[in-house]
Amino acid sequence: MNSQKSILISLLLSGLALPGRACDICGCFMGITPYDNQSGFSLMHRYRIFNGYQALGQSPQFFPAGARPFFPSPLNGDNGYAHSHHGEPTDFEAFRVIELRGKYFLSQRVELNAFVPYMMNTSQINGRQLNSAGVGDVTVFTGYHLIRAIETAGVQSRLIVGGGLKLPIGEYTRQNAQGQRYPLLNQVGTGTTDGFVYANYIGSFHSFGLSVNSSYRRSTENTFRNSLAPSTATYASLFYRVPLGENWQVYPSAQFFYEKTKGEMLDGQLTGEHAMNNALLGPGLDVYYKNFSLNTSFQLPIYTATTDHPASAGRMVVSVGYSFKQTKYLLHGKS
């Protein structure tokens, strides 16, 4: 049982597919659920980078000059930034999130989740850089475990369906010294209330496992009649369990992520800004000691649709967490 708990908590914490910042920047980011009703909390850092203009033959770089993967310097600052792309190879957009995540099972089949992000966004265009940091939009959602088949002849499977809201907590009205509001994705919040639904299937056979999570999101307009177009995201992870003694377990994995959105909208019309149609692939490695976890993943693009913006160059996730098994529930008492 512990092995399967760890498998799915690893996916939860390296998480790739529903509210947060995406498609990482458009609000579809979510993790998945452990087999054995493990409540807990985690602290996750995500780094997503865009750079290089495909139409000009520029190759994307995961660590372009000036793009710090963990913390920008300064956290907030504008040295004459103007949002106007002219094909400069040093241009990049970096989105970093430190996110506190909590999960609590209300019953054996009903879970409640909350994500509180601290956003750190950087956009560099034509040598001028804008940094924006602060508490972002909070996400709350519930999931129902429709299928909960645990340890049947070495085969386990679970299907979770659910939905929730991204709430407009983060600031979205920041402006420059001339009183011009920064673009939507340079804000730490969106000012929109987003609704989303998702389905997550998880299956394993002995030490091998597969998880597939797909989501769909729609948003309202903010007070500027600004919003993001509907988006979809799909995450798949193929993993393998390597037990190391009584308390240690290691899970190498191959992780795939696909995102699609038509981008930013204004007055109900597409602006052509930040449309995305990307697929990424890369390794993950999760390490567990008793109830503690360290989760990592690293992905590079395998397909990027051409736009006039910097291209998707990859993503990185690092997370630490603690989980605990529940024996009592608010809705149904003891298990």
Residue for token digits 């799909």? 234
Asked if 164 and 140 count as a contact pair (C-beta separation under 8 A), the reply is yes
Q: Is the pTM of this model over 0.85?
A: yes
Non-local (6+) Cβ contacts of 114 within 8 A are: 101, 102, 138, 139, 140
Say what the pLDDT of residue 152 is: 64
User: Which tens digits make up the pLDDT trace of 291-312?
Assistant: 898 999 999 999 999 888 899 9
User: Which tens digits make up the pLDDT trace of 245-289?
Assistant: 888 889 899 999 999 999 899 998 998 888 889 999 999 998 988
Say what the pLDDT of residue 5 is: 44
Say what the pLDDT of residue 320 is: 94
Torsions phi, psi of 310, nearest 5? -55, 140
Say what the pLDDT of residue 36 is: 58
For the chain, the three-class secondary structure string (H helix, E strand, C coil) is: CHHHHHHHHHHHHHCCCCCCCCCCCCCCCCCCCCCCCEEEEEEEEEEEEEECCHHHCCCCCCCCCCCCCCCCCCCCEECCCCCCCCCCCCCEEEEEEEEEEEEEECCCCEEEEEEEEEEEEEEEECCEEEEEEEECCEEEEEEEEEEEEEEECCEEEEEEEEEEEEECCCCCCCECCCCCECCHHHCCCCCCCEEEEEEEEEEEECCEEEEEEEEEEEECCCCCCEEECCEEEEEEEEEECEEECCCEEEEEEEEEEEEEECCEEECCEECCCCCEEEEEEEEEEEEEECCEEEEEEEEEEEEECCCCCCCEEEEEEEEEEEEEECCEECCCEEC
For the chain, which ranges sit under pLDDT 70?
1-37, 150-153, 332-335
